[in-house]
Structure 1
Amino acid sequence: MSQAATRRVIFQPATYRRLQRGVNKLVDAIRPTLGPRPRLVAVNRLLEGKMPEMLDNGGTIAKRIERLADPDEDMGAQLVRDMLWRLQDQVGDGTATAAVLFGSVYNQGIHYLAAGGNAMHLRDYLGKGLQMVMDQLSGMTVQVSGKEQLARIAESLCYDPALSRLLGEIFDIVGAYGRLEIREGRGRDLEREYVEGMYWEWGLYSRDMIADLSRYRTEFDDAAILISDLEIDEPQQLYPALEMALRAGIPRLVIVAGRLSARAIGFLLSNRQPDRFQLMAVKTPGWDTSQKAAALEDMAILTGGRPFLKAAGETFAHVTPENLGRARRAFADLRTFGIVGGKGNPRLLRQHIGHLRSAFNQSDDTVVREALLKRVGMLLGGAATLWIGAATELEIAARKEMAERTAASVRAAMMEGVVPGGGVALLACQPALQQALARSEDADERGAYRTLIKALAEPFRTLVSNAGYDASEAMTEVRMAGPGYGFDVTVGRAL
């Protein structure tokens, strides 16, 4: 017989203190990484038979500290860990700043409650104060564009000039919503490749459909596209589509289908006429029903075609030339299928992209956001691949991870703008809270504003201390210099 696990029940104030220890352990592990001159954090991997991992990214450190020995402390650490994971997934950067802010607010809050403060009132007023901070930051936000500006933002995050220059160039070309794939290269150098139009990683049904053996792909100019997710088992199911195309004088036809049997593929190959009727068949993009539905919707709107859907019980029996999508060029190989210059209704395409962008901005689900971002990028017609090179496989993996984080942050900067760095933007939010503090007569409200005012200075202090300077002296120097000044830790003075 198995015994049920023993449950421990702990009450206040012990819960506060134990959770606080867990919060502080994780925050203190990440704190040294804040700033342009961070100190590295070593993660022991001896049990895996590997050398220690040297890290300078708060989100990655939080992922590596999977569990603390004390279960109560681990609950506190989990509060920080989950927040940082979500932040890194959505934005790519800012995890160390967030950890330092969280630790300061949490510790001050515990101290305030121990002195008799009201937890619920404090929480409400912290939310009110946070909105003031957000409003102040919004007023400081400036938009960024151009490869030079984007490269500077990238270099402030990854300290890799060559990588930063390439990311600046890529995002200047493909845009904030552009599709970017970052892959491990085989050499030491960084390389990039641009793809015009949109493409899916689902290609031809047969290598016998490849027309250009030198490039191992097929391209059709002025292509007609029959869009579907139908499963074709018998050649007879294709008769209406091919007869319609021949009658209409369509010289180049792409058939998109969910499945083609060997007999159906053979039938299509035997009906090609190089000088009169060119034909290729590609797989419906997507692993599951929802992915396929999204791909068919995008393809139809981009090309002006009508999708034939298996779920609706449809066939090709009554297909007409008006049902076909059109594109200036279609291309495919065994792995990909792409469209350049889709001839769908531009107004409908703009509306569709607008709906996808709105859904992206409203979602906080990382998987959903990534899928929507990919769709918008494809529909806008810009895509790039960045190949990451370095001396060793370990260096390539580390550089690739850095490139992914930096790319996410540059993309977020293009979408939402940037504020002054180095903790200066947060310091500039303090006067609004100080004014609200002077007007307030409620003890809990005043406590919340004091908590936020102190917390907003913590990233600046930490950044300066990590660079080896006295934080109080740097703070005094910045305040005496006036608005718009920050502390440049690379030269050790206010600028």
Structure 2
Amino acid sequence: DKFQNIGAKLVQNVANNTNEEAGDGTTTATVLARAIAKEGFEKISKGANPIEIRRGVMMAVEAVKEKLKNMSKPVTTPEEIAQVATISANGDTAIGKLIADAMKKVGRDGVITVKDGKTLNDELEIIEGMKFDRGYISPYFINSSKGAKVEFQDALVLFSEKKISNVQTIIPALELANQQRKALVIVAEDVDGEALSTLVVNRLKIGLQVAAVKAPGFGDNRKSTLSDMAIATGGVVFGDDANLIKVEDVQSSDFGQVGEVIITKDDTLFLKGKGKKADIDRRAEQIRDQIQETTSEYEKEKLQERLARLASGVAVLHVGGSSEVEVNEKKDRVNDALNATRAAVEEGIVPGGGSALLRCIPMLEELKTANADQATGVDIIKKALKMPCMTIARNAGIDGSVVVAKVEDLGPEFGYDALNNEYVNMIEKGIIDPTKVVRTALTDASGVASLLTTAEA
């Protein structure tokens, strides 16, 4: 039926989004979304005003997020990080240690990726590389049989701050790359028009090793990121104010050089850039000084991102195993654990097993609402907050409402350990959730409330 279909679609979107944001908590988000949707539909069909209900829901959600923030315990020491990572990897201490080591090596803001290992063991490799969140401009550049990505070994990089539309602009660069038998990656404000179609046709017809990527960021931030990349790879940026040479007049020495390039639809990774160490260090120092000087939080965040790219490198976790199935299963576990650990380092942890949400119910009693329908919205959230804990109990074959009542009576860090069917101090027992995961799950689930109120046919 049409409604159920809309509902199912919404809930699917919620789950996907939570996974992208915080790396886990999809089950929590789905359970919450279902509870909010079910109650919301019932009340609206009985004549409540959807817009006021939504206001109530949003009011309650904001209050709960505030409470979660206050409950949150920071995760800072390597031991704590390893503990969280181990828990997130279903108790696998080896994975926990691997992730904690990686974070120690590249810093909490460094880039960590997960790859297939070549051996039976898991290994940590630190690569000096740069990753940024722009993928290939056209999927026709894909050259890898494993997954939709572009992979080159030992490539030249052409950086341009301007848009490239005219094919004449890039022919000299293509010829130079061709003479050296090297792949060419073009990073520019944009590549379109006949320049793009020529690249694509040559890639498809004669297998030209080429790919184009939009430069990350915009405005001044893009300028600086491009010149960071040029410094890291030993190239120059065309079209900026300092460098007045035209792209047409490119020389071999103007290209950046990288040992390995991986481009997916969402991001680009340059590994083993051939920039001079002295230049890179000087640049990193400049950025550090700017971080000290700036007062704007946004600026600071952007600068730290640039610093991580330049200085701290990329950690690669090679996941080993005896068969492809085993490696893939383990890779998923490592990815989940990594995302959850990042989230925990960012915003701290709260007691797991749905108990953190239960602790937020009492303060919803005190919310001042403007009318009865808003109060109904708050009640919908009050009910929904019990669902994750109930669901866990039910899945363990126990009466959910009994468990919820019992947990509500216990101290703030206590909850229900479904595995051993007992009530314990969740933090001590290591049954925890990253605050960000719980917060994102709730935010995404409550978004459904606003959609459901508009899905009246």
TM over 0.5: yes
Q: Is 1:299 the counterpart of 2:214 in the alignment?
A: no
Find the counterpart in structure 2 of residue 445 from structure 1. Answer: 374
TM-score when normalising by structure 2 = 0.64
Change (3 A) 1:205 1:494: closer
**More moved, 398-407 vs 284-293:** 284-293
Aligned to 1:185, which of 96, 100, 117? Answer: 117
CA distance in 2, matches of 1:455, 1:380: 45
Pairing 1:218-229 to 2, within 5 Å after superposition: none
Shift of 1:440: 4.7
Residue 291 of structure 1 aligns with an amino acid whose one-letter code is: A
Matches within 5 A, 1:276-425: 286=187, 287-291=211-215, 296-299=226-229, 307-309=237-239, 314-315=245-246, 333=259, 336-338=271-273, 339=275, 340=277, 341-344=280-283, 346-348=285-287, 351=290, 358=298, 377-425=308-356
Aligned to 2:422: 493
Instruction: Note closer, same or farther for the CA distance 1:316–1:134 as it changes in structure 2 (3 Å cut).
Output: closer
1:301–1:349 Cα contact (<8 Å) kept = no
Question: Which letter maps to 1:463?
Answer: I
1:170 aligns with 2:102: yes
Amino acid in structure 1 at the alignment position of 2:176: S
After superposition, give the CA deviation of every residue in 1:169-226 in whole Å (9 maximum; x if it has no partner): 21232233211121112332211111357589876469xxxxxxxxxxxxxxxxxxx9
Asked if 1:89 corresponds to 2:4, the answer is: no
Measure the CA separation in 2 of the matches of 1:83 and 1:290: 29
The answer for the alignment partner of 1:427 in structure 2 is 358
Q: Is the 8 A contact 2:291 2:304 kept in 1?
A: no
Match of 1:108 in 2: 39
Cα pair 1:302 1:344 within 8 Å, conserved: no
The CA deviation at 1:419 is 2.1
Identity over the aligned pairs, expressed in percent? Answer: 27
User: 8 Å contact 2:123–2:319 — kept in the other structure?
Assistant: yes
* Matched letter for residue 398 of structure 2: Y
Match of 1:475 among 390, 401, 404: 404
Q: Is the 8 A contact 1:228 1:258 kept in 2?
A: no
AA in 2 matched with 1:492: N
Question: Counterpart of 1:261 in structure 2: which amino acid?
Answer: L
- Name the CA shift for 1:344/1:76 in 2 (closer, same or farther; >3 Å): same
Q: Measured at CA, do residues 377 and 412 of structure 1 come closer, stay the same or move farther in structure 2, by a change above 3 Å?
A: farther
CA distance in 2, matches of 1:413, 1:307: 38
Deviations 1:138-166 (A, max 9, x none): 11122212332222222322313322221
Partner of 2:7: 76
Distance change in 2, residues 1:204/1:355 (3 Å): farther
- Letter in structure 1 aligned against 2:345: M
Alpha-carbon distance change, 150 to 130 in structure 1, aligned in 2, over 3 angstroms: same
Tell me, in whole angstroms, the C-alpha distance in 2 between the residues paired with 1:147 and 1:442.
49
After superposition, the C-alpha distances for 1:18-77 in whole angstroms (9 at most, x for unaligned) are 4xxxxxxxxxxxxxxxxxxxxxxxxxxxxxxxxxxxxxxxxxxxxxxxxxxxx5532221
Between the aligned partners of 2:104 and 2:10, the Cα distance in structure 1 is 37
Quote the offset at 1:347 in angstroms. 4.2
Once residues 422 and 470 of structure 1 are traced to their aligned partners in structure 2, the CA distance between those partners, rounded to angstroms, is: 15
Q: Judging changes above 3 Å, is the alpha-carbon distance between structure 1 residues 189 and 258 closer, same or farther for their aligned structure 2 residues?
A: farther
**Aligned-partner residue type, residue 337 of structure 1:** K
CA shift at 1:299, angstroms?
A: 2.9
Of 420-429 and 440-449, the range deviating more from structure 2: 440-449
Query: Would you say the 8 A contact 1:204–1:283 is kept in 2?
Result: no
Separation in structure 2 between the aligned mates of residue 148 and residue 158 of structure 1, nearest angstrom: 15
Offset of residue 455 of structure 1:
0.7
RMSD: 4.3
Q: 2:21 corresponds to which letter in structure 1?
A: Q
Corresponding residue SS for 1:261: helix
Query: Which consecutive unaligned segments of at least 5 residues does structure 2 have?
Result: 133-150, 162-171, 188-210, 217-221, 262-270, 425-457
Flag the 1:202–1:344 CA change in 2: closer, same or farther, 3 A: farther
Unaligned 5+ runs, structure 1: 1-17, 19-70, 207-225, 231-256, 267-280, 325-329, 363-371
Query: Is the alpha carbon distance of 1:305 and 1:264 closer, same or farther for their aligned partners in structure 2, counting shifts above 3 Å?
Result: closer
Q: Secondary structure at the match of 1:435?
A: coil
Question: Which residue identity is paired with 2:111?
Answer: R
User: Could you tell me how far apart the structure 1 residues matched to 2:300 and 2:88 are?
Assistant: 24
Distance 2:297 2:114 in 1: 22
How far does residue 124 in structure 1 lie from its aligned partner after superposition?
A: 1.2
Q: Measured at CA, do residues 317 and 132 of structure 1 come closer, stay the same or move farther in structure 2, by a change above 3 Å?
A: closer
Aligned residues: 349
Report the alpha carbon displacement of residue 317 of structure 1 after superposing the two structures with TM: 12
User: What letter corresponds to residue 288 of structure 1 in structure 2?
Assistant: A
Q: Is the 8 A contact 2:56 2:369 kept in 1?
A: no
Q: How does 1:127-166 map to 2 (within 5 A)?
A: 127-159=58-90, 160-166=92-98
Cα distance in 1 for residues equivalent to 2:340 and 2:296: 20
Task: Answer yes or no: is the 8 Å Cα contact 1:178–1:376 preserved in 2.
Answer: no
Pairwise CA distance, 1:379: 2.7
Distance in 2 (alpha carbons) for counterparts of 1:375 and 1:332: 18
Moved more, 345-354 or 384-393: 345-354
Q: CA deviation at 1:263?
A: 9.1
Q: 2:176 is matched with which residue?
A: 261
CA distance in 1 between counterparts of 2:62 and 2:408 reads 24
Secondary structure of the residue aligned to 1:401 is helix
The one-letter amino acid paired with 1:299 is M
SS at match of 1:314: coil
C-alpha spacing 1:118/1:263, structure 2 compared with 1 (3 Å): closer
Partner deviation per Cα, 1:424-448 (whole Å, 9 max, x = no partner):
2111111111122xx5572112211
Q: What letter corresponds to residue 152 of structure 1 in structure 2?
A: Q
What is the aligned partner in structure 2 of residue 125 from structure 1?
56
Tell me: higher relative CO, structure 1 or 2? Use CA pairs within 8 A at least 6 residues apart.
2
Q: Give 3-state SS (helix, strand or coil) of 1:391's partner.
A: coil
